[in-house]
Amino acid sequence: MSENQNPQNCDHNCSGCSANCDSRQESMRIEPHPKSSIGKIIGVVSGKGGVGKSFVTSLLASEMQRRGHRAAVLDGDITGPSQAKAFGITEKAEGDGEVVFPAITKNGIQVISTNMLLDDESQPVIWRGPMVANILKQFYQEVFWDDVDYMFVDMPPGTSDVPLTLFQSIPLDGIIVVTSPQELVGMVVEKAINMANMMDIKVLGLVENMAYVECPDCGKKMYVFGKSHVAEEAVKYGIPVLATIPLDPAISEAADAGTIEDLELESIQPAADYVENL
């Protein structure tokens, strides 16, 4: 339906149409492989890079797996993949000619990431938008997701055509927006939330990362990035703050060592509780 058409005059040709009507959504929705079984699908997004979106994704998947659920991570950040590194995955993706098999972490989390397709993980992914979007669809459609209870999609940052493709193609049960304390972040959070609302995707809540540093001696919290604004943003949009995560050297050390699933953070548990109760 083109911009100057109304629903009664829709010709059901969605090419070049900007309307977000039910007909368009249905035409762009893709299905997973027939052998796959996927329960809830949660997108983890940010309006900009560098706020810890991938870290929050891996933490949530690890916590849900620890609770006895079958968790999976689809690394949708195609040009900046980090999930394989965080989980210590070094093997390449394999298939049987019909499906591609995700890597299985030592705790049983199913993971697919671009680095698993490259000969050299340091090789840059220099692909144009349509090719990136196609790879994302293949990660969902051609990978054998084995009886997954909760899939977490590490979304590419920003509001470009790639996250738009994910919003329109994959049946997300909601998104979690990751932010940091700086006031500037309020603007980019607003963009991410507005994009989700335009796509009729439910915003589950906010996770504030790098919120403070806790002194190891006295326990005092130091707000190195200034006063937090996440509560204000949550009230503004009528959504909850799901977690407030401190800036902790143990976090980066675990990610660098590929042992992120061994990191148990009390601060992520309220967010996991919320997802578990969806």
Q: What domains sit in the chain, N to C, each tagged with a CATH number?
A: 1-30 (no CATH), 31-276 (3.40.50.300)
CA 168/CA 164 separation, integer angstroms: 6
Number of CB atoms found within 10 A of residue 67's CB: 14
Query: What is the tens place of the pLDDT at every residue in 119-166?
Result: 666 666 666 667 878 888 899 999 999 999 999 999 887 666 777 888
pLDDT at 41: 97
Burial class (CB in 10 A: 0-12, 13-18, 19+), 142: middle
Length of the chain: 278
SS3 260: helix
> Is the C-alpha dihedral spanning 175, 158, 29, 118 positive or negative?
negative
Query: What is the tens place of the pLDDT at every residue in 175-189?
Result: 999 988 876 667 778
The string of DSSP codes covering 210-249 is: S--EE-TTT--EE-TT-S--HHHHHHHHT--EEEE----H
**What integer best gives the mean pLDDT of the chain?**
85
Query: What is the tens place of the pLDDT at every residue in 18-55?
Result: 455 554 455 688 999 999 999 999 999 987 777 889 99
110-112 and 103-104 as β-strands: parallel, antiparallel, unpaired?
antiparallel
pLDDT at 11 over 60: no
Torsion-angle region of 158 (φ positive above 0: left; ψ -120 to 50: alpha; else: beta): left
pLDDT at 148: 98
pLDDT at 1: 44
pLDDT at 215: 85
pLDDT at 2 over 50: no
Per the CB < 8 A criterion, the answer to whether 88 and 258 are in contact is yes
pLDDT at 4: 43
pLDDT at 272: 97
> Is the C-alpha dihedral spanning 134, 136, 139, 141 positive or negative?
negative
pLDDT at 266 over 80: yes
